[in-house]
Amino acid sequence: MGASETRRKTAGEPDVDLNQLVELLLLARATHVAGDHAAGLKYLDFLSKMVDNLTGADGNLPIFHPSSAATLLLCTAELFALFGQQERSADYSRAYIAMARLAHGEGSPPVGDAYGFHMALLARRGLLEEALHHAMMMLQVRQRCGTEKPIADAHWNVAVLLRELQQYQSAIESLQAAREIYSRCSGEGLETSEADIATASVLQLLGEHEKAVR
């Protein structure tokens, strides 16, 4: 990269080298795999400037189409998370949600995915109340889309966060909602048994030992 000649910009052409973008993404990932944290952070700094320019995160008009910009913002958020840069990862994750809305419309499955990704980042940082808010947003999107298995998974995520927040009765209700959908989709099996085990663990915390055994 350092030895490559800067590409000349022609009239009406965006001032960006897409080959360099791909190189930066690959180098950042490779330095993480190699454990070279310092070099990886340098590449991430270069990458973030290019991403901000391409996606409009710097306040200017985006160069990429919103769908491509959303994917790039997601990749960038993931890379910052890998390097432990949680604040910057969350910033790009919020931008990813906004771009997914622009590209696909509020209530679309990709926006639900964006809420889920941001929820996971928040939960990793221990920001459980905020993570629960995004988990509920993801659940609402899934319910509007009407695909049952993703709705059950969203209920499960809500239940996990409610349990951690010691809202045990609400957690049980979410687990029961998930179990009902799992049973309807594929009958009694692994997924329903996992929901039963999770429900029993919450009932134990409530002191409802007989219900937990059942």
Q: Where are the domains of the chain?
A: 17-104
69 vs 54, 76, 133, CA distance in Å? 7, 10, 25
Other beta carbons less than 10 A from residue 29's beta carbon: 16
The per-residue pLDDT for range 160-177, each reduced to its tens digit, is 999 999 999 999 999 999
Q: Is 56 a residue whose pLDDT tops 80?
A: yes
Q: What average pLDDT does this structure show over 31-46?
A: 93
Q: For residues 23 and 1, is the Cβ–Cβ distance under 8 A?
A: yes
> Cα(35)–Cα(28) distance, rounded to whole angstroms?
11
The per-residue pLDDT for range 69-100, each reduced to its tens digit, is 999 999 999 999 999 999 999 999 999 999 99
pTM, whole model, 2 decimals?
0.84
3-state secondary structure of 63: coil
**Band of residue 60 on the pLDDT scale cut at 50, 70, 90:** confident
Q: For residues 134 and 119, is the Cβ–Cβ distance under 8 A?
A: yes
Tokens of 156: 């499960």
